[in-house]
Structure 1
């Protein structure tokens, strides 16, 4: 396949046409850790316009550092996070895009999983000027293949990025591709047949659990009665790590206790840790979640109440998973 045809196809599946190109915010995005000896040594630095993609990789890095065989090794955790993502979307066959002096090539990697992990050269994605996030995104698309991506999408979503406030942001389908290996545009479990304007449409939801989960909260959508319901496939991943979309920004919640998802007794009272990727976030926020206190009250319809102060959005997103939970911020001033 000619290089021009490949690039045109990549642009169509990303932007919906060949006219758009990545802006400066995307081009400067790559994968980079904070200082190795700091409290946030596990954390990635978020720069550029690709925060959603970076945050899913951040969630997989945390999963690997906490529960993987090479706990504590930043570089190995990043390599595993990147390669696991490509392996997942490619269904145990992956393509890695690299930039040469002349053109972009896509060397095909077809190894057993353990070998493949070692073959991803993470430095290609984590050096300033590498366009690392864009290269990783191209690798995802080539690993999934255009044909399978088109099958994943539905009539409501035909491409992976959309323009919002001057920047390209991820459609839900791209987040689902990263989280589950399939570019499902909807958040609910399974598929749903819908009839609009006399036309029958099949809406594609989530078909499998991933290693990390996903939670969603939008105060604006909640106020308008349009908050989408996230299905159990996304809420209950294999590891207690969740990517959070809160009012359009991305962050990570995680637990140190893997049994949280397999033993209901662990859910009575437990700790969650939170990282939002902002430069102002100097320490990991520790929250205590109590699901048995029964003294949380849902927001009233009182228009004079300051609901943002009474019920921070971070608390509300936690309650989408643990309904009615009481959250103790342990001395941290509540935010969101």
Structure 2
């Protein structure tokens, strides 16, 4: 990749992060605000504007040639709009136009957060060197992206590989997207915690009811917490196996906050994959934790900006 700086935005249901990133993927400056996800669309945009204001105030900003955005989806990269399931105030919100206005007309590239994470992992992480990969973000929601034949596969609107809204339970709970039994409705962090609470798990004295607290309880042997993670792992395994069967991926890389549970998630995930990925050409499918960590969204958004939105371009070849 070339050495210009780019600005990157990572927009999710919990936080809006921004950074200035160089052509080697190094983050030189950071900014962050909580996502006012339950407020109106302009309130969310003001939070984005506050992050951008911190970036543009830096002397480094003059070296920034473009902006890359990785947003919770669905997104429509062709129209420049976003409609994140977990941010109801944004429906067909013209994010690219608004960001372009805020950054003085610099080019803006939009991809889904799962595609951004995939770009990061293919460039610098666990998917590097693999020609066919699925990368997942398991956090407030569940997103994903694909590398096919050595190239980042974004799809016409930037949503290809959005595994979170594959239905794996035909009679399951209604998902905010409108479908039933989606991977996200079972395996996202809030839904892991919801299921544990519904089945009798109770938090400790600190009152922490996050998926991380459920993971800690599972490590301590709490059977309800263990079962909640096992169910999440089954949903992820079913979605991964279906994707692998369809496009013959070699590796599934799992990142996001829920992946921080470690073996509490990965042990039942690998076990469940043995049950779901049964055809000969998917039995050797490898599952790995993501390596780019909490910076995956920013690094991947930067990769998208550095590539300038070129269709089919590889995430690590300039």
Please, what TM-score do these two structures have when normalized by structure 1?
0.28
Higher helix fraction (1 or 2)? 2
Larger Cα-atom Rg: 1
